[in-house]
Structure 1
Amino acid sequence: MEVETRVVALNVVGCALAHKKKTIVKHKLVPALTMRLLEACATTDASGAIEDDEDDEDEVSVHRRAAQVFHTLGVSIPSKHAVPAILDLVRQHHCSEHLAWRRAVLVALAMTAEGCAEAYADALDALLPVVFAGCRDGAQPVREAACICIGEFACYLQPDIISHYQEILPHIFMVLNDATERVKEKSCYALESFCENLGDDIVPFLQPLLERLTALLRDSTRATQEMAISALAAVAMSAGKQFRPYFETIYSLVRVLLHQTGAGELTLRARALECIGLMNLAVGREVCEPVLPEVTAAALEGLQLDLPELREYTYGFFAQLSELLQGDVAPILPQLLPRVLQSLDFEDCIDFGDDDKPPSAMAALVASINAKGASGAPAADSGAADVDGDRD
C-alpha cells in the first residue's frame, strides 16, 4: 500500500480514537487497533530498512504518524482498556529478532505514557527491564527509542519513577557514552527529564554526570550540544547548593557561548543563557554574583538580535535574575523595559491566556517587575476592579 494511503488511514484512526472512543470500546476494537498501530510503527521499506525519525518533519511518514496516533489512543481510551492491549504487545514483541518491532514497542510505551501514566507507574517493575534492554540494544534506532521512553516516563510517571533512580541513572550513563551522536543527543533529553524531579538523590552521581555532559559540550554536534546544555541546567537545579563546587568550572565553559552570533549558533546561545540563569538560582547569589555583570551584559546584547527564540530565553533569564536579586534588579530596568515593551508588539510573544500552560518567560518577567515596581519597591495598589466590579 502507498505511504500516503497508509497515512490517510492512520488519520482516520486517530480521528475515530479522539471522537468515537465509546464506540471503539463498546465494539472491543482496542486490541485490534493497537496491533495495527504497532505494525505501522514497525514499518520498513522494500529493503527492510526502518523509517528514519530524523527525516524532514514535513515529509509523509507512516512511523511518525502511527506514533502520534498512539498518543491519541493513550489520552483518549480509558487505560483499563488501552493498557492490557499495549502490554500484551510489549510482551510479545520486545524481544523480537526484528529491530523495527523492538523500536516500535518502545515508541508505543513512550507515546502512551501520558494517558496511561497511573497504570504504567504501577507496572514499572515489569516495564523498566524492557526499556533497559533497549538501552543495551545493538541497533541504534532502538537505543534512541529507549532514551525517549525514559524521558517520557520521567515526565509523566512521577513520583513513582524517581524511586528507581539507582537503576535508571546507570543506564542513562550508558547511552550518554554511546558511539553515535543521535543516541547521545536523545540521552541528554532523558537525563534532563529525569533530573528535573530527582533532588538530592543526584549528588552521588553529580561529578561523573557533569564530566560527561561537559565532554559532550566540548565535542559534539550542535544538536547534541543544545541538549547537553539543557541537561546541565536540569542537573544544576536538581543538585541545588551541592552544585557550588562545580559552578566556576561549568560557567567558564558555558560563558563562551554567550557571544555566538552565527545564525546556526543562536539557539545554542539561547540555551546557554537559560543554563546560566538556572545555575545562578541553584547556587545562590553569594556564589554567582561575580559573574552577573558579564552575563547580564550579554543578555542585553542578545535582545538586539532578531531571533524570537533567543529573545524568549533572554526574558526567561531576566525573570530568573529578578528572582535571584529581588529589588536589586532595579538598576537594569531602564535598559530592559523599553525592550520588553517593544516585544509586546511582536506576534511571536502574544499570550492567548491558556490557563493550562505555565506563564511564559515574558509573563514571569512582567509579573516580577509589577511586583517590585521600577524602583525595586513594591508596586502601589492600582485599585483596579476585580471581575465582579469590586475594588480590593
Structure 2
Amino acid sequence: MSDSDYVHQFGPLKENRAGTASGGRGAPRALYPPRLLPQQLSHPAAFTCSLLVLDVPISGAKHEHPTGEDDEVRKTALEFMTTLSESKPGMLRSEPAWVEIVVRGCLEGMGEIPEDDTEAWLEADPAEDPTDDSYPHTYEHSLDRIACALGGQAVLPPAFTFIPAMLASHDWRLRYAGLMAIASIAEGTSKVMQGELTSSYPRSATHIRACGTLRASALDSSAQISSRTGKVPRPIFAALIPALEAPEARVHAHAAAALINFCEGVERDTLIPYLDSIVEQLLKLLNPAATDASKQPKRYVQEQVITTLAMVVDASEATFVKLCSFLRYASIMPLLLNVMQNANGPEYRKLRVKAMECAGLIAIAVGRDVFRPDSRTFVELLMRIENSPADPNDTMLSHFLIATWAKVCQALGEEFEPYLPVVMPRSSASRARKPTSRYETKCQAFEMLLIHASTLNARFGPHVAQAHPRPLPSRTSGTLTQQMVTTTFSQIINCIRTESDASFLASLFKCFLHSMLVIGGPQAFAPELHAGLLEVTKRQLQSLADKRKARAAHLAEDKEEAMLVEEMEDFALEEMAKVLRTLDPNHPLLIAVSSVRELGLHLSEWDGEDEGTAS
C-alpha cells in the first residue's frame, strides 16, 4: 500500500467555516484546525483492524507471533488506536466496532508468549526481567491505558466476550493473558467489574495452584483486583499462602508481593486467621538455611520478603504481638540486624534499607519492653550506617534513615532522649547532603521532628535549637514569645496570599487553625494578624471563583482531571470555612465560601455515565 493510499483511508478533510478546504483561502488554519468526526472512523477502523487483529479465534489454535516489518506495523497500529482512544474518549466510547477491535487486538497480543521465554522468566529477577520489553507487556500496557480512557461500560463487554474462553483454554499462554487482562483493566473498570469477580476469583485461586508461570500471573491478577476493588475473598488467602512455598523463586517472590496488595486496607479481622501462617512462611523464605543449609535465597526474594513482613507488621499492629510469640520476635530481629550489619555492597542497598524499615516497625509493634535488649545494637548500627562514606548513587539511604530514627523514637518513648544529641545534628546534615532532593528530604525531616516532639513532649524542648539551621528569635525560655507568634502567623498569611495550588492551600489553612488553637484561640490574635487573614482569604475566594467560572465556560474533555482539581478546591474551601467559623460562627465570609462552592461543576455527581452507575 502506498503512502497516498494509506492517507485516503482516513477520508476527506472537513471543510472550514469559510467553505474552503483546509489550507485554502479563508480563516487561518490556527483558528479552525481540522477535526476528526465519528463518520470518518469507519476507514481507519477497518484499516487498523486488518493490521492489529489476527484471522484466528483467540481461544483457538496456537498462532505464531508476527515478525519483522509486520511486527512493527502491528505495533504502530496498536499505538495509534490507543493514543486516539485516550485523546478522544467521548467520541470513541460510542463506537462499539472501534472498542472491540482494539480490545481484541490487545488480548491476542498478550497471549503471544514464546515458549522458550518461560524458564528465563521464572528465573529472572523481576527488576531485570529479560522479557519485560516483549510484545505481551506492550499489549498489556495498552489495554490498561484503553480501560482508563474509555471506562468500564465500553471496555468490559468486549473484553469479557473473550476472557472466559481464554481462562478455559488448554494453552497456558492464553490462560496467562486472560488473568493479566483482568488485572490490567481493573483500574479503569472497577465499578463495572464487580459482577465478574465471582467467576474470576475462583479461577485465579485454582491457577495459583497450577504451574509456576500461571501461579505468578494469577497472583498479580488477583492482588491488583483486590487492591482496586477493596474485596479480598478468603479462598484467595487459602491459595496464596501455600504459594509462598513454591519451588520457583519468582513464584514465591510474587506471592510475597501479592500479599502487600491483598493486605493493604483489608480489615484486621480478615487478616488475623492467616497472620501466623504468613509470618511463618516469610521467615522460612528469609532464612531457608535454618531448615536446609544448602539453600541460599536470592537477594530479590529477601528484599521482597522483608518488605512484605514490614507491611504485615504495620497492618496487624498490636495483633502481631498477640499472635506472634516472643520466640518469633527473637527469630526475626537478629536476622534483620544481621542484614543491617553485613549488607554493605552497592547491590545490597535496597535490602539494607528495607531491613531498617522492617526492624523499626517491629520495634513499635512489640513495644519498648521487648525491644529494649536490642535497642542499643540497633541504634549503633544506624549510627555506623550514617557515618559510612556517602554513596552519591544511593538515593534511598537518607530517606530510610530519617524514617527509621523516628520509628525507634516511637518504640522507646522517653528512653530515646539520650540519643537526640546524636540524631538531631545528623538529620540536618542529611538534609544538606543531597541538594537534588532537598525539598522531599526536608519534608520528611519535619515529619520526623513532629514524631520526636509528640513522643517526647517536654523532654524534646531543650533539643529544638539543634534541629533549626538558624537561632530561633527571642528563645530565652521554653515558652512562646509574642515575637515568635507574630513571625509564625505572618509567614503563614504570606504563604496563603500567593499560593495557587489548592491542595497546599488547604494545608495552609489547616496549619493556621491548629496554630491558632495552640496559642489560645482568636482572642490571642493581634489586630493586624486578624486583618491580614481576612484580606488573603478574600483574595483566595475571588481566585477560586474565577477559576471555576473559567472551567465552566471551557469544560475540558478530561473530566477526571477536572474532578480532581475541583475536589482539591473543595478541600481548601472546607479548611477555609473551619478557620472562619472559629473566628465567628456567623462570619459573613462563610456565605462567600458557600457561593464559591456552588460554582463547582460537580462532575462526580454525573460520572456514572462512564462507569455504568446509571441504570
Structure 1: gaps of 5 or more residues: 354-358
Partner of residue 247 from structure 2, selected from 171, 179, 192: 179
**Compared CA separation, residues 44 and 295, structure 1 to 2 (3 A):** same
Q: Distance in 2 between matches of 1:118 and 1:278?
A: 34
Pair 1:145 & 2:232 matched: no
* 1:110 CA displacement: 1.4
- The 2-side partners of 1:113 and 1:154 are apart by 9
Structure 1 residue 257 displacement after superposition: 0.7
The alpha carbon displacement at 1:4 in A equals: 4.5
How far did residue 212 of structure 1 move?
A: 1.0
Change (3 A) 1:100 1:349: same
Alignment counterpart, residue 109 of structure 2, candidates 40, 45, 61: 40
1:309 to 372, 396, 404: 396
Superposition deviation, residue 213 in structure 1:
0.7
Q: CA deviation at 1:58?
A: 9.9
* Change in 2 beyond 3 A, CA 1:157/1:296: farther
Q: Counterparts of 1:257 and 1:18 in 2: how far apart (Å)? A: 46
Q: For 2:396, give the aligned amino acid.
A: E
Summarize deviations over 1:192-217 as a string: whole Å, max 9, x none.
22223241333332322222111101
Letter in 2 for 1:189: A
CA distance in 1, matches of 2:419, 2:340: 18
In the TM superposition, what are the counterparts of 1:73-222 in structure 2 within 5 Å? 73-138=146-211, 140-158=212-230, 160-161=231-232, 164=233, 166-196=234-264, 197-219=266-288, 220-222=297-299
Q: Which residue type is aligned with residue 98 of structure 1? A: D
Shift of the 335–19 alpha-carbon distance from structure 1 to 2, 3 Å rule, reads: farther
Query: SS of the counterpart of 1:177?
Result: coil
Which stretch shows the higher mean deviation, 77-86 or 185-194? 77-86
Overall identity of the aligned pairs, in %: 20
Q: What is the alpha-carbon root mean square deviation over aligned residues?
A: 3.1
Give the conservation status (yes or no) of the 8 Å contact 1:236–1:243.
Answer: yes
Partner in structure 1 of residue 333 of structure 2? 251
Name the CA distance, whole Å, in 1 between partners of 2:203 and 2:443.
37
Once the 2 structures are TM-superposed, how far is the Cα of residue 366 of structure 1 from its aligned partner? 4.8
> Is the contact between residue 328 and residue 376 of structure 1 (CA under 8 Å) also seen in structure 2?
no
CA deviation after TM superposition for structure 1 residue 375, in Å? 5.6
Residue 226 of structure 1 deviates from its aligned partner by: 0.9
Deviations 1:108-150, CA, capped at 9 Å, x for gaps: 1112222222233443222201211321222x22211111112
1:385 maps to 2:492? yes
**Aligned match for 1:63, one of 128, 136, 150:** 136
Counterpart in the other structure of 2:428: 341
| Pair 1:294-2:362 in alignment | no
Structure 1, 34-43 or 120-129: larger mean CA deviation? 120-129
Mean Cα displacement is larger for which, 191-200 or 140-149? 191-200
Name 1:356's counterpart in structure 2. none
Q: Return the alpha-carbon distance in structure 1 between the equivalents of residues 223 and 444 of structure 2.
A: 23
The C-alpha deviation readout for 1:19-73, integer Å capped at 9, x for no partner, is: 221222122222221111111111234x675694856579742112222222212
> 1:302 touches 1:311 (CA, 8 Å); kept in 2?
no
Aligned partner letter, 1:239 = S
Mapped to 2, the partners of 1:168 and 1:80 lie a distance apart of: 27
Residue of structure 1 in register with 2:307 after alignment:
230
TM-score normalized by structure 2? Answer: 0.56
Question: In the alignment, is residue 18 of structure 1 matched against residue 86 of structure 2?
Answer: yes
User: Residues of 2 paired with 1:213 and 1:302: CA distance?
Assistant: 26
Deviations 1:222-278 (Å, cap 9, x if unpaired)? 111111111111222233223222323221222211112122222111111111112
- Between the aligned partners of 1:70 and 1:229, the Cα distance in structure 2 is 32
Aligned partners of 1:17 and 1:76 also within 8 Å: yes
* One-letter identity of the residue aligned with 2:286: L
Q: Secondary structure of 2:533's match?
A: coil
Q: Give 1:97 deviation, angstroms.
A: 1.5
Alpha-carbon distance in 1 for matches of 2:76, 2:420: 53
Q: Where in structure 2 are there 5+ consecutive unaligned residues?
A: 1-66, 289-296, 465-479, 498-531, 535-578, 580-615
What residue identity is the alignment partner of 1:258? Answer: M
SS in 1 for 2:280: helix
Q: Once structures 1 and 2 are overlaid, which stretch shifts more, 32-41 or 376-385?
A: 376-385
Answer yes or no: is the 8 Å Cα contact 1:117–1:156 preserved in 2. Answer: yes
Aligned CA distance change for structure 1 residues 319 and 152 (closer, same or farther; 3 Å) = farther
CA contact (8 A) 1:327 1:377 kept: no
- Preserved CA contact (<8 Å) 2:253 2:304: yes
For 1:348-359, what aligned pairs fall within 5 Å after superposition?
Answer: 349-351=437-439
Q: Is the 8 A contact 1:322 1:329 kept in 2?
A: yes
CA contact (8 A) 1:94 1:101 kept: yes
Match of 1:364 among 416, 429, 447: 447
Q: 1:352 to 1:271 in 2, by over 3 A?
A: closer
Q: Quick one: distance in 1 between partners of 2:132 and 2:385?
A: 34
Residues 101 and 264 of structure 1, relative CA distance in 2, 3 Å threshold: same
Aligned with 1:243: secondary structure? helix
Distance in structure 1 (CA, Å) of the matches to 2:282 and 2:130: 28
Contact 1:315 1:365 survives alignment (8 Å): yes
The Cα of 1:296 is off from its aligned counterpart by: 2.4
User: Helix, strand or coil for the counterpart of 2:170?
Assistant: coil
Q: 2:366 aligns with which of 251, 271, 283?
A: 283
Q: Radius of gyration: which is bigger?
A: 2
SS in 2 for 1:178: coil
How far 1:308 moved relative to its partner? 1.6
Cα 1:385–1:265, aligned 2, differ >3 Å: closer, same or farther? closer
Change (3 A) 1:370 1:376: closer
Distance 1:60 1:127, change over 3 A: closer
Match of 2:569 in 1: none
Q: Secondary structure at the match of 1:179?
A: coil
Would you say the 8 A contact 2:117–2:131 is kept in 1? Answer: no
Aligned residues between the structures: 381
Counterpart residue type for residue 287 of structure 1: V
